[in-house]
Structure 1
Amino acid sequence: MTPIRVLVVQDHPMLASAIVEILEGEPGLRVLAVARSGADAVRLATQEAVGVVLMDYRLPDMTGAAAAGQIRTARPETPIVFHTTDDSETALLDAIDAGASAYLTGSATAGEIVDAVRRAILGEVLIPVALFARAIVRQRRHAIEQGEREKLLAEFTPRELEILRVLAKGLDTPTIAGRMGIAPHTVEWHLRHVIEKLRVHSKLQALSQPFA
């Protein structure tokens, strides 16, 4: 049986050597090469006959997700298994968006790494349930916050939004008035309405809002 050719993408020499030793010690697996950067990974994955890419998330020149996205664009049939110490929701979601077949954290055992590589070549997807659940919760929270933000923005008039954005540049009331061609007291009148709608108590607090 033709061995599965694995491209290891890992810039840490000791960890790369350990991974190579694990994979080479397994029947039916062969390490094609070790890429030390995202650019090298993309080049090798698109030029060579790679069975599976075993990808770190944090690389010197780009994220593993960025490299994976480029590889999947050129070779959509190539499964990519992430093995990384980054267990953040952001990294997981980026990897999934890039088409990851599996996502293993630094606590994964040698057996789990080998199993993920073998199952990836069969088209299976392996994502840690707990980490995926955290990511979904974060996405849902973000969607709710985004919805609330859009709802709040809809309460402002175009003039109020313009004043808030100009204020964020550090300009004082007379300068804002001159730039917008309105009287200073009109600027203050709009600002009072902005502060009321934001449910804050000062210009400084208004500026702390994400749409200022």
Structure 2
Amino acid sequence: MTNIKILVCDDHEILRKGIVELLNLQEGMEVIGEAVNGLEAVTHTEKLEPDVVLMDIQMPDYNGLEAVKKIREQNQEVKIIMLTVSDEEKDLYTSIKNGANGYLLKNMNLNDLFAHIHGVLKGEASFSPGLANKLLYEFKSMAERLQSQKGSQYNLSDREMDVLELVVKGYSNEEIGDLLFISQHTVKKHLGNILQKLHVKNRYQAANFAVKEGLIDDQE
């Protein structure tokens, strides 16, 4: 069985050497290189072709976030796991945006680190406990902001977008009222505003228009 080839990138020598030693003691894993700064992380990845890169964030000559972005520009295959002390949301979001496959905190259990290395090679995302929830919350918030922006193109309020989404899903006025805790009269008022703003004649045309224009995703 071929060993997993790993590149360890960290400017703290004692910590880096410790990680290297522990990984080399693990059956099936082999550290093929070390990088002490972001520039070396980029050049060593290109030269050594590791399977997995363990990347710290706070490093000189490109920080880890910049290094990930530059590596991704030339290599889409290598798996990159951030291994850091930072639990800052901005670092988490930026690392994933730049192409990292995982984000782990250095205080994690050693066996968990080994498991995450194996997992990321199987296509699994690797996150320390709690960080995955932060990421999912951010994606949910982004989706909500995007939908709100789409509605604003037609001057639809957030509540009108809620009603329109339920119309697309085929709910009746009574069902919409129950789901949104509003009266049928209020539903009809919102629906009338929607028809007027979208320049359509009925709820069916409104639903078709909303899906066609990307206002509502009918696959949800």
TM range (shorter): 0.5 to 0.7
Partner of 2:153: none
Partner of 1:156: none
8 Å contact kept, 1:58–1:64: yes
The alpha-carbon deviation at position 88 of structure 1 amounts to 0.6
SS at the partner of 2:125? coil
Partner of 2:124: 124
The alpha-carbon deviation at position 65 of structure 1 amounts to 1.6
Could you tell me which amino acid in structure 1 is paired with residue 99 of structure 2?
Answer: G
Partner of 2:112: 112
In the alignment, the residues of structure 2 paired with residue 60 and residue 30 of structure 1 have an alpha-carbon distance, to the nearest angstrom, of 25
Q: Deviations over 1:117-136 (max 9, x none)?
A: 11122221112352233355
- Counterparts in 2 of 1:85-100, with a 5 A limit? 85-100=85-100
The alpha-carbon deviation at position 49 of structure 1 amounts to 2.1
Q: Report sequence identity in percent.
A: 30
Partner of 2:134: 134
Compared CA separation, residues 88 and 21, structure 1 to 2 (3 A): same
Q: Deviations over 1:4-43 (max 9, x none)?
A: 1100001001110110111001111100111000000000
Partner of 1:20: 20
Q: Deviations over 1:104-157 (max 9, x none)?
A: 112211111111111122221112352233355567779999xxxxxxxxxxxx
Could you tell me which amino acid in structure 2 is paired with residue 99 of structure 1?
Answer: G
CA RMSD of aligned residues (A): 2.4
8 Å contact kept, 2:81–2:104: yes
In the alignment, the residues of structure 1 paired with residue 18 and residue 143 of structure 2 have an alpha-carbon distance, to the nearest angstrom, of 41
The alpha-carbon deviation at position 98 of structure 1 amounts to 1.7
Compared CA separation, residues 33 and 131, structure 1 to 2 (3 A): same
Aligned residue-pair number? 148
Q: Deviations over 1:46-76 (max 9, x none)?
A: 1122111011111112221210111122110
Gaps of 5+ in 1: 146-212
SS at the partner of 2:90? helix
TM-score by length of 2: 0.60
Partner of 2:198: none
Could you tell me which amino acid in structure 2 is paired with residue 105 of structure 1?
Answer: L
8 Å contact kept, 1:6–1:50: yes
8 Å contact kept, 2:55–2:83: yes
